[in-house]
Structure 1
Amino acid sequence: MNERILIVEDDQDIAFIEKDYLEMNGYQVHIASDGNEGLQEGLSGKYQLILLDVMLPGMDGFEICRRLRDKVDVPIMMVTAKREDIDKIRGLGFGADAYIEKPFSPSVFVARVKSQLAQYQRLKGNDTRRSKRITIGNISLDPDTHRVTVSGKEKLLPNKEFQVLEFLMLNADMVFSKEAIYDKIWGMDSLGNTATVPVHINRLREAIEKDPNKPRHLLTIWGVGYKFKP
């Protein structure tokens, strides 16, 4: 195992506990103790997963996540003591893949990291299964290369948004409730809730629709759910 993990955490006690347990499980770990350092390290491209504390000096975790997601395609996990759903939704809106809430047990912490890395590897096509390119209208999605193009222009999508789009395109014209989409994409391993689904749908509309306020493909079926219209 040679995955490198970046921890952005200003509480050194917590940071070194996380580092110790991850290193015991074979990961290479670097700690950044403030937001500005964390952003620069995250943009370096050296890491396969980034753990972001929410409250940081210099720049908060939400802003770091937003800036990283536009440039870096790796799992981003927010680590926070705040339990309010609005914080979770806000973080996922900026492209976070998952949350870990303080306090947490070390074994759960490591298991969550392993799960995110494994899911990312599957999504990137590093297992033996190969998927075919999906093209509907001017939108093309290639699971093997994790690329989405709209009218020939490539769109960089975070992991979860890519998965949501792939699922809906594979089942074009079928309507799925937000609960069904959440169960399919996040599953039982997630610490979020179904309110994250509309956030991801809105972000996808910003990426693939000509007019996100009048979507042509990603439609809301009021009282039922969402569908991808060919």
Structure 2
Amino acid sequence: MNHHIGIVEDDPNIRNIVSAYLKKEGFTVTLLESAEEAWELWKTEPPAMWILDIMLPGMDGYEFCKKIRMESEVPIIIISAKDEEIDKILGLELGGDDYLTKPFSPRELVARVKRLFKRSSISLANTEVNDTRVTVDELTIDKEERRIFFRGEEYEVTTKEFDMLLILVENVNRAFSREELLIKIWGDNYFGSDRAVDDLVKRIRKKLPHLPLETVWGYGYRLRNEGEVT
């Protein structure tokens, strides 16, 4: 599939290099110098993925990421000259799916783009052989449409939030370590801190405060339910 990727980067050299590598792999790209331009593109011809710089003129990448996440779970890879752990955590907390620090290898970026698209394809393929919906108590997940319902109301969630909820629902009452969740959700090649898992749980609890998502102290998390899973 010829995926469309939006590259939001104010450095023309980085824009052109990233564009060249992605085009070589068969992707369609749109180059944008600002988040404002990217937002206009989102309203007219939304990309299937964003590659987003943080330090932008005008609206910064964090704010743009936040706006996109209010409307969609489209994959977002954040690139930034900031190498502080707090910046990475903030980017992931606002809904970024991956984070690369400048300078980075264009080949590594392409590999991460492919991995994100592959992960999305696998999720869709799984719905062909599994039941399309799974319910635990008052929480229902539609795997085919990637939708979340709790107590009869639909909730908007990001890609990572959906992935974590699906893992926990399909393994109800099982405790997962932070490291397990980090690998399952971010992949084997993710080198960030497991704080990203804690931040993801924090976001889910904020959206679904009555969900029985328990902390297993000193270990990780589990979704507790003593009833029937359907």
For the Cα contact (< 8 Å) 1:43–1:71, is it kept in 2?
A: no
CA RMSD of aligned residues (A): 1.6
Counterparts of 1:25 and 1:135 in 2: how far apart (Å)?
A: 39
Which TM-score applies when normalising by structure 2?
0.91
* Change beyond 3 A, Cα 1:186–1:163: same
Is 1:46 the counterpart of 2:41 in the alignment? no
Q: Structure 1 158/102 Cα, relative in aligned 2: closer, same or farther at 3 Å?
A: same
Matched residue type, 1:218? L
Partner of 2:157: 157
Trace 1:61-210 onto structure 2 (pairs within 5 A): 61-123=61-123, 125-126=124-125, 129-132=128-131, 133-210=133-210
Give the alignment partner of residue 219 of structure 2, picking from 211, 216, 224. Answer: 224
Q: For residues 99 and 222 of structure 2, what CA distance do their matches in structure 1 show?
A: 27
How far off is 1:45 after superposition?
5.2
Q: CA deviation at 1:106?
A: 2.0
AA of the residue aligned to 1:24: K
% of aligned pairs identical?
37
1:31 aligns with 2:31: yes
For 1:128 and 1:169, locate their aligned partners in 2 and report how far apart those are by CA, in whole Å. 15
Counterparts of 2:160 and 2:73, CA distance in 1: 11
1:126 deviates by 4.1
Aligned residues: 224
1:115 match: secondary structure? helix
Over 3 Å counting, the alpha-carbon distance change for 1:127 and 1:222 in structure 2 is closer
Distance 1:208 1:45, change over 3 A: farther
What letter corresponds to residue 130 of structure 2 in structure 1?
Answer: S
Q: Which residue pairs with 1:213 in the alignment? A: none
Residue 203 (structure 1) shift: 0.8
Deviations 1:158-182 (A, max 9, x none): 1111111111111111222211211
Residue 191 of structure 1, CA deviation? 3.8
Structure 1 contact 8–31 (Cα < 8 Å) conserved: yes
Note if contact 1:131-1:144 (Cα within 8 Å) is conserved in structure 2. no
Q: Is the 8 A contact 1:219 1:228 kept in 2?
A: yes
Note the C-alpha offset of 1:209: 2.3
The 3-state SS of whatever aligns with 1:95 is: coil
CA separation in 2, counterparts of 1:72 and 1:38? Answer: 14
Partner secondary structure for residue 169 of structure 1: helix
